[in-house]
């Protein structure tokens, strides 16, 4: 049977992030996708200007139709969420549609800074949502927010392990923490069944927007295919590195993200074994 997933994310019309990343990646991984838009933007917010429509007021009617049609999905994957009300709606959706796999990328901030649009109430609502996930992919900043830990640049692997333990105690079975740094390398920590491992790899500059979405999308796809978490994280990180190298070679403007289209075939091999 083909797998299916509901993608809860914004539609940024240009700039390779959110749905324009998740949809092709999950589709090439042979998963049928449904979309629950959180906002519609002309382009992502890293460009000098953008237009945005908050989709919150339409979400309930939109989802009422899905319920009426008895649509069902194996999994759900959430990314950028724009308001407290929206976060509460999503927690509701988790309950209404009994998704077996619930992947939450708790997009709230980076480099110790919470995004402007994120209020303390929204951070609290995100904590609630994360508790209901089966896999979450915070960066270090987001892990600090989720565990009420003050952010420091010099947090050790041991510190991160303890934060993962505390988050898992609230009911989250699998956690992947992105953006660890050591000796000019970049790593991802995997916490599952109280085991903790970090996979480091070459850091490829410049950093580009949307790589977090590429990472979480590959992980969501692997999760639905029951690919072990270590293999999934390795595959996602390798894929991003390849895409970053090609993006530099093809002189893709930084804000346009990574040209993952060049390498989508690499993901097909993950699911056709």
Q: What's the token pair of residue 29?
A: 């991984």
Cis upstream peptide for 206 (omega within 30°): yes
41 binds ligand PXL (CB under 6 A): yes
**C-beta of 126: minimal distance to ligand PXL in Å?**
14
The answer to whether residues 260 and 21 touch, using CB atoms and an 8 Å cutoff, is: yes
Query: CA-CA distance, 90 to 39, in Å (whole number)?
Result: 14
- One of 3, 16, 44, 208 touching ligand PXL (CB under 6 A): 44
Does 46 bind ligand PXL (CB under 6 A)? Our answer is yes
Instruction: Please give the C-alpha separations between residue 46 and each of 179, 209, 227, 245, in angstroms, as whole numbers.
Output: 19, 8, 33, 21
Please state the closest distance from residue 205 (CB atom) to ligand PXL, in A. Answer: 18
Residue 12 binds to ligand PXL (criterion: CB under 6 A): yes
- Exactly one of 55, 73, 77, 80 binds ligand PXL (CB under 6 A); that residue is 80
- Smallest Cα–Cα separation from 177: which of 194, 207, 197? 197
Query: Which CB, 3 or 33, lies closer to ligand PXL?
Result: 33
Nearer to ligand PXL, 78 or 196 (CB): 78
Tell me which H or E stretch contains 63.
helix 56-68
Nearer to ligand PXL, 45 or 86 (CB): 45
Compare residues 5 and 17 and give the one whose CB is closer to ligand PXL: 17
Structure tokens at 156: 């050790």
Question: Cβ(215)–Cβ(24) under 8 Å?
Answer: no
Residue linked to tokens 């993200």: 257
| Residue 18 near ligand PXL by CB under 6 A | yes
Among 8, 10, 90, 270, binds ligand PXL (CB under 6 A): 10
Q: Three-state DSSP class for 91?
A: helix
> How many residues are given for the chain?
273
d(CA 134, CA 91): 13
- Does residue 138 interact with ligand PXL by CB under 6 A? no
Nearer Cβ to ligand PXL (12/101)? 12
Contact positions with ligand PXL (CB under 6 A) in 167-226 = 209-210, 212-213
| Contacts with ligand PXL, residue ranges (CB under 6 A) | 10, 12, 17-18, 41, 44-46, 80, 107, 209-210, 212-213
């Amino acid at each position: 049977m083909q797998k299916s997933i509901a993608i809860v994310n914004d539609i940024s019309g240009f700039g390779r992030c959110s749905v324009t990343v998740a949809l092709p990646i999950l589709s090439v991984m042979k998963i049928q996708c449904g979309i629950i838009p959180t906002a519609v933007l002309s382009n992502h917010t890293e460009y000098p200007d953008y237009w945005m429509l908050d989709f919150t007021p339409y979400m309930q009617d939109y989802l009422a139709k899905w319920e009426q049609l008895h649509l069902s999905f194996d999994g759900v994957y959430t990314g950028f969420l724009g308001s407290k009300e929206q976060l509460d709606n999503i927690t509701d959706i988790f309950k209404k549609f009994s998704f077996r796999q619930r992947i939450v990328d708790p997009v709230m901030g980076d480099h110790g800074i919470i995004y402007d649009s994120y209020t303390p109430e929204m951070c609290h609502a995100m904590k609630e949502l994360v508790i209901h996930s089966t896999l979450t992919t915070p960066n270090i900043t987001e892990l600090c927010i989720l565990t009420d830990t003050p952010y420091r640049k010099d947090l050790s692997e041991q510190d991160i392990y303890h934060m993962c333990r505390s988050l898992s105690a609230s009911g989250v079975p699998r956690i992947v923490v992105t953006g660890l740094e050591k000796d000019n390398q970049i790593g991802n920590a995997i916490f599952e069944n109280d085991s903790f491992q970090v996979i480091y790899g070459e850091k490829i500059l410049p950093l580009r927007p949307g790589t977090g979405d590429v990472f979480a999308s590959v992980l969501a796809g692997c999760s639905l295919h029951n690919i072990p978490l270590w293999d999934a994280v390795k595959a996602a990180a390798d894929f991003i590195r390849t895409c970053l190298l090609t993006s530099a070679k093809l002189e893709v403007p930084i804000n346009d993200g990574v040209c993952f289209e060049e390498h989508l075939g690499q993901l097909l091999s993950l699911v056709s074994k």
